[in-house]
Structures are given as structure tokens and as C-alpha cells.
Amino acid sequence: MASAWGREKAKEDLLWFIGERCPREHWAFGELARLYQARGNTLGLHKVYAALANLDSRNLHWKNNLAATSMLLRLNLPAAHELARETYAQNPDDGIIASTYAYSLHLQGRTKEGLGAFQKLKPETLDEPLVAFYYGLLLSAAGETNEAVKYLALGSKSELLPEERSLMAEASKAL
């Protein structure tokens, strides 16, 4: 309905209203996430994932996405690191979850341990663009530039958030 009005702010407000007043209507938060992803609004995504994780603390993907956006924004890092650790412990074979955990370890100065999380994944999982991006990032930080080039190139095919594009630029300079 708000889309028909042509006012993005009205659409956003309406979706938040629905999501907060009707917690079972997860579609509203999904629409907000798509809207914020398209705009490159990491803080908006963070708020969506915080709301969703609050609604269902058992959902690993929402918790993982909350941890990831927290780390990108440098918000409440101790809690973000703990969320990343918890989700990885429950599902270490998920490439996105492993990427978040590995990035968490990297931010804590434990890049080699983070690379270990990637090395436990199936080779085809490492080729998924967002997983490849974070793998390339850690490879670059570890000085493994020849390998990093391949994975950063694959990662550039992902729809990166502004903070991730900045990380890509920094990693690319080191190559």
C-alpha cells in the first residue's frame, strides 16, 4: 500500500509498524531487510536483525546476521563475538555462519584460527561469493596474497555493504 503512495519513508514506517505490532508477520522484516540491503543501509539491517533475533533467539541465521552487522558497524563487539561463536558451534558447516565466525576471530587478532574455520568447509562452499569475500579478506590479512586474489575476485560478485566494500578496498591494496 505504501509503495503505491510512492513514499519510501512511509513504506519503511509501515513495515516497522507491522513488524513490531504483529511479530508473527516476519515478511515485514524481510521486506525491510531487502529495502536496507538495496540501499546499502547496514545500520537499518542491523536493527532488523536485532528485532528478528529478539523474536526468535533460536534462529541461527538471524543471530548470525546480527553478529555480522554488529561487527561491520563496530557495535557491541563482545556480544557480537559471542553470537558468532554460538552460531558457529551449532552449525559449523554453514558457509555464511563460518564466515562470520572467522571474521570475528580476525577482529580479535586470531586470523589463523579464522582461516581454520574456512578450511573445514567444502571447497565449493568457499566459491560462494560472500564466503569467498571473507575468505579472501582473511587470506590477504595473513599475507597469502596469491590465494586472496582469487577469492576476493569471487567475492566482488556479491552484493556487498558499504563497510564490506571498504574492507575489499583495503584488502586489495595489500595485494
pLDDT of residue 7: 67
Q: What's the average model confidence in pLDDT over 140-162?
A: 95
CATH superfamily label, 40-173 = Tetratricopeptide repeat domain (1.25.40.10)
Least confident of 12-26, 57-71, 146-160: 12-26
How many CA within 13 A on the CB side of residue 143?
Answer: 1
Q: How far apart are the first and last CA of the chain?
A: 48
Q: Is the pLDDT of residue 1 over 80?
A: no
For the stretch 110-127, pLDDT in tens is 999 999 999 999 999 999
Distance CA 48, CA 62 (A): 9
Residue 12 pLDDT exceeds 50 = yes
Mean per-residue pLDDT, 44-71: 95
Q: How many CA atoms lie within 13 A of 169 on its CB side?
A: 7
DSSP H/E element including 154 = helix 145-155
- At 2, the pLDDT band (50, 70, 90 cuts) reads very low
- Percent of the chain at pLDDT > 90 equals 81
pLDDT of 172 higher than 70:
yes
Q: Treating both helix axes as pointing N-terminal to C-terminal, what angle do 129-141 and 145-155 enclose, rounded to 10 degrees?
A: 150
Rounded distance, CA 131 to CA 154, Å? Answer: 9
Judge whether residue 45 has pLDDT over 60: yes
Residues 89-114 pLDDT 10s: 999 999 999 999 999 999 999 999 99
* Residue 147, number of CB atoms within 10 A of its CB: 14
Question: With the C-alpha atoms ordered 170, 78, 139, 69, is the resulting torsion angle positive or negative?
Answer: negative
CA dist., res. 26 & res. 28, Å (int): 5
Q: Domain ranges for the chain, please list them.
A: 40-173
**Between 140 and 1, the higher pLDDT residue:** 140
